[in-house]
Structure 1
């Protein structure tokens, strides 16, 4: 399994279902971010994912490009690695092990395991598309969220825990409790659109991920959040 994520303080997540220009991608490459993730929940197809990957490779050749796999039919060959979400608090077991088993059945020996990071996903915004898709149990106390993280690390051997508040800024006390409870590499994504929020979550998370803010606020949000954690 890859340990590449442990070197990242900041990553930008790009949605294959949202348009982006080569000029904006070049600007992202100048911000100081450590990596680009390709991932989303809705409207994800192989064609869109491959198109975005090709564009990113041309515009930002110096940054690692990883795909966060939410749909096995959209997997793009050639990326630097794959983040595989295992939704710890999913209400549907398909997102805990079902889709993963099917991918192994379909791709078997073709899977480049040395380029894979297993993400112990905690989906904590009930209004997010990913929460609805996975039927996630989002009404958790800080202690319950931390217990999921510890179970992912200690019982299932997950070295990366991804706290996902997609579409909203998360509860800092919950993130703090998770940080105190686990030694796993902690990734936070959701609502980071300013220097202040980047600094606040960056104090507890090893890696922060900026996604929607890029589309809503523009490149300045990336510059600000990079400065916040570096």
Structure 2
């Protein structure tokens, strides 16, 4: 399934919300007016169906106009009401389950119930070795840009993936590494990690197709979403002039 058939192509700014982390209703309301393009529900630890459902229900209540997608890390937490599903394939994992095991298990369990037209596969490269997701997946983090590019090219040219996600998860990444991937691939490039200011949002959004704001929302407040979304969309306006 090509991501060009999905709204990711037009999303420049995504907010990732973690069901295991608290957020107030008033912040969800502001989130709806922040200028972000979509909400991605996902996390690494403590993900349950009830927590995911509760967050999703609040989002439907307060910001029904924004796309609500799930990034699937726990099969028991999948919500059939979601607008779409991002399926991570962790390219630099040390455990085969994160490449094909969990995905195969999902197909076995849900079979013909899977709405294939609502799925996007993420070719995931984890680049912060100290992150929870790196530890969970046993990620083997490259120590140079060439290794990162090689993972991205493997995803695109061997596995046929057309969405690559560079995940720094809580830390701000190396723009030169992101640029190296941009230069060597044609896939839709998503960047996540450490976007907590307009300057960082502009820097990474000038390279990647889509940026994801996650931890900064919980650490600095909803204003960081408003600030980064405005900065990203100001780039778009300059491009169209």
TM-score by length of 2: 0.94
State the distance in 2 between where 1:47 and 1:140 align.
39
**Match runs of 1:1-230 below 5 Å:** 1=1, 2-230=5-233
**Deviation, structure 1 residue 139:** 3.3
Q: For 1:9-54, what per-residue CA distance to the aligned partner results, in whole angstroms no more than 9, with x for missing partners? A: 0010000001112211110110110000000000000110111000
What secondary structure is seen at the aligned counterpart in 1 of 2:169? coil
State the distance in 2 between where 1:170 and 1:13 align.
17
State the distance in 2 between where 1:154 and 1:82 align.
23
* Residue in 1 that maps onto 2:238: none
* Residue in 1 that maps onto 2:236: none
Q: For 1:159-208, what per-residue CA distance to the aligned partner results, in whole angstroms no more than 9, with x for missing partners? A: 10000000100111110101001100000000000000000101111000
State the distance in 1 between where 2:80 and 2:25 align.
21
What secondary structure is seen at the aligned counterpart in 2 of 1:6? helix
State the distance in 2 between where 1:105 and 1:7 align.
32
What secondary structure is seen at the aligned counterpart in 1 of 2:166? strand
Q: What's the RMSD between the two structures over aligned residues?
A: 0.8
Please, which runs of 5 or more residues in structure 1 have no aligned partner? none
Please, which runs of 5 or more residues in structure 2 have no aligned partner? 234-241
**Deviation, structure 1 residue 224:** 1.2
**Deviation, structure 1 residue 140:** 3.0
State the distance in 1 between where 2:156 and 2:60 align.
33
What secondary structure is seen at the aligned counterpart in 1 of 2:191? strand
What secondary structure is seen at the aligned counterpart in 2 of 1:23? helix
Moved over 3 A (4+): none
Verify the 8 A CA contact 1:202 1:228 in the aligned structure 2: no
What secondary structure is seen at the aligned counterpart in 2 of 1:85? strand
**Deviation, structure 1 residue 4:** 1.7
What is the total number of aligned residue pairs between the two structures? 230
**Deviation, structure 1 residue 228:** 1.7
Q: For 1:77-113, what per-residue CA distance to the aligned partner results, in whole angstroms no more than 9, with x for missing partners? A: 1110000000011111110001100110000100000
